[in-house]
Amino acid sequence: QVTLKESGPVLVKPRETLTLTCTVSGFSLSNSRMGVSWIRQPPGKALEWLAHIFSSDETSYSRSLKSRLTIYKDTSKSQVVLTMTNMDPVDTATYYCARSPDYYYHNSGYYPDAFDVWGQGTMVTVSS
Protein backbone atom coordinates (compact mmCIF):
# COMPACT_ATOMS: atom_id res chain seq x y z
CA GLN A 1 0.00 0.00 0.00
CA VAL A 2 1.32 3.38 -1.03
CA THR A 3 1.21 6.03 1.67
CA LEU A 4 2.68 9.46 2.28
CA LYS A 5 2.76 11.16 5.66
CA GLU A 6 3.64 14.76 6.39
CA SER A 7 5.30 15.84 9.62
CA GLY A 8 6.60 19.08 11.02
CA PRO A 9 5.83 21.83 13.51
CA VAL A 10 2.26 22.81 14.22
CA LEU A 11 3.23 26.37 15.11
CA VAL A 12 5.98 28.58 13.77
CA LYS A 13 6.80 32.20 14.49
CA PRO A 14 6.94 34.92 11.84
CA ARG A 15 10.29 35.14 10.07
CA GLU A 16 11.23 31.60 11.10
CA THR A 17 12.04 28.81 8.64
CA LEU A 18 9.55 25.96 8.26
CA THR A 19 10.84 22.45 7.63
CA LEU A 20 8.33 19.79 6.60
CA THR A 21 9.05 16.12 5.98
CA CYS A 22 7.09 13.75 3.78
CA THR A 23 7.79 10.11 4.62
CA VAL A 24 6.70 7.69 1.93
CA SER A 25 6.06 3.98 2.01
CA GLY A 26 4.96 1.39 -0.51
CA PHE A 27 7.24 2.78 -3.20
CA SER A 28 10.83 3.85 -3.53
CA LEU A 29 12.02 7.40 -4.15
CA SER A 30 14.84 5.87 -6.14
CA ASN A 31 12.28 4.55 -8.65
CA SER A 32 13.27 6.03 -11.97
CA ARG A 33 9.86 7.55 -12.74
CA MET A 34 8.30 8.75 -9.48
CA GLY A 35 8.28 12.23 -8.05
CA VAL A 36 6.76 14.11 -5.12
CA SER A 37 5.13 17.51 -4.88
CA TRP A 38 4.20 19.76 -2.00
CA ILE A 39 0.85 21.56 -2.12
CA ARG A 40 -0.75 23.81 0.47
CA GLN A 41 -4.25 24.98 1.30
CA PRO A 42 -5.03 27.96 3.54
CA PRO A 43 -8.16 27.49 5.65
CA GLY A 44 -11.25 27.69 3.45
CA LYS A 45 -9.23 28.43 0.33
CA ALA A 46 -8.02 26.66 -2.79
CA LEU A 47 -5.06 24.36 -3.33
CA GLU A 48 -1.73 25.96 -4.20
CA TRP A 49 1.11 23.94 -5.71
CA LEU A 50 4.50 24.74 -4.17
CA ALA A 51 7.29 22.51 -5.43
CA HIS A 52 8.10 19.21 -7.13
CA ILE A 53 11.10 16.93 -7.11
CA PHE A 54 11.68 14.40 -9.87
CA SER A 55 13.42 11.06 -9.47
CA SER A 56 16.48 12.64 -11.11
CA ASP A 57 16.56 15.24 -8.29
CA GLU A 58 15.54 17.94 -10.75
CA THR A 59 13.22 20.42 -9.08
CA SER A 60 10.46 22.84 -10.00
CA TYR A 61 9.05 25.64 -7.87
CA SER A 62 6.11 27.99 -7.57
CA ARG A 63 7.09 31.18 -9.33
CA SER A 64 5.88 33.44 -6.54
CA LEU A 65 7.52 31.45 -3.72
CA LYS A 66 10.66 30.21 -5.44
CA SER A 67 13.02 32.42 -3.46
CA ARG A 68 11.73 30.98 -0.19
CA LEU A 69 11.45 27.27 -1.03
CA THR A 70 13.85 24.36 -1.16
CA ILE A 71 12.81 20.78 -1.87
CA TYR A 72 15.13 17.80 -1.63
CA LYS A 73 14.93 14.11 -0.88
CA ASP A 74 16.74 11.56 1.23
CA THR A 75 16.22 8.31 -0.62
CA SER A 76 17.73 6.21 2.16
CA LYS A 77 15.13 7.52 4.60
CA SER A 78 12.28 7.54 2.05
CA GLN A 79 11.74 11.22 2.79
CA VAL A 80 11.10 14.38 0.81
CA VAL A 81 11.78 17.61 2.67
CA LEU A 82 10.44 21.09 2.00
CA THR A 83 11.87 24.18 3.64
CA MET A 84 10.19 27.56 3.49
CA THR A 85 12.02 30.59 4.83
CA ASN A 86 10.74 33.84 6.30
CA MET A 87 7.35 32.50 7.34
CA ASP A 88 4.42 34.91 7.58
CA PRO A 89 0.89 34.54 8.98
CA VAL A 90 -0.41 34.33 5.39
CA ASP A 91 1.50 31.04 5.11
CA THR A 92 -0.87 29.46 7.63
CA ALA A 93 -2.24 26.43 5.80
CA THR A 94 -2.54 22.69 5.60
CA TYR A 95 0.50 21.38 3.77
CA TYR A 96 0.19 18.22 1.68
CA CYS A 97 2.70 16.05 -0.10
CA ALA A 98 1.56 14.00 -3.08
CA ARG A 99 3.06 11.41 -5.38
CA SER A 100 3.37 11.63 -9.13
CA PRO A 101 3.87 8.10 -10.49
CA ASP A 102 5.53 9.08 -13.73
CA TYR A 103 6.87 11.95 -15.80
CA TYR A 104 6.80 12.91 -19.45
CA TYR A 105 8.99 14.83 -21.84
CA HIS A 106 6.93 17.66 -23.35
CA ASN A 107 7.74 21.01 -24.91
CA SER A 108 11.47 20.60 -24.26
CA GLY A 109 10.99 19.89 -20.58
CA TYR A 110 10.00 17.23 -18.08
CA TYR A 111 6.60 17.33 -16.42
CA PRO A 112 5.03 15.10 -13.80
CA ASP A 113 2.01 12.90 -14.12
CA ALA A 114 -1.07 13.73 -12.06
CA PHE A 115 -0.87 13.29 -8.30
CA ASP A 116 -2.36 9.91 -7.57
CA VAL A 117 -1.70 9.50 -3.85
CA TRP A 118 -1.78 12.27 -1.24
CA GLY A 119 -0.77 12.46 2.36
CA GLN A 120 -3.30 13.40 5.03
CA GLY A 121 -1.83 16.88 5.36
CA THR A 122 -0.33 18.76 8.26
CA MET A 123 -1.70 22.06 9.54
CA VAL A 124 0.86 24.78 10.13
CA THR A 125 -0.03 28.01 11.91
CA VAL A 126 2.23 31.05 11.73
CA SER A 127 1.82 33.25 14.77
CA SER A 128 3.91 35.02 17.36
Partner 1 sequence: EIVLTQSPGTLSLSPGERATLSCRASQSVSSSFLAWYQQKPGQAPRLLIYGASRRATGIPDRFSGSGSGTDFSLTISRLEPDDFAVYYCQQHGSSPYTFGQGTKLQIK
Residues in contact with partner 1 by CB under 8 A are 37, 39, 46-49, 52, 60-63, 96, 98, 100, 104, 106-107, 109, 111-121
Instruction: Give the number of other Cβ atoms within 10 Å of residue 94's Cβ.
Output: 16
Closest distance to partner 1 from the beta carbon of 48 (Å): 7
24/105 Cα distance (integer angstroms): 25
Q: Please identify, using beta-carbon distances, which residue of 83 and 94 lies nearer to partner 1.
A: 94
Closest distance to partner 1 from the beta carbon of 37 (Å): 7
Strand intervals (E) in the chain: 3-7, 11-12, 18-25, 35-41, 48-53, 59-61, 69-74, 79-84, 93-100, 103-106, 109-112, 117-118, 122-126
Closest distance to partner 1 from the beta carbon of 14 (Å): 25
In sequence order, what are the beta bridge partners of 36?
A: 53, 99
Q: Please identify, using beta-carbon distances, which residue of 16 and 113 lies nearer to partner 1.
A: 113
Q: Please identify, using beta-carbon distances, which residue of 3 and 78 lies nearer to partner 1.
A: 3
- Confirm if 116 and 101 have CB atoms less than 8 A apart: yes
Closest distance to partner 1 from the beta carbon of 128 (Å): 27
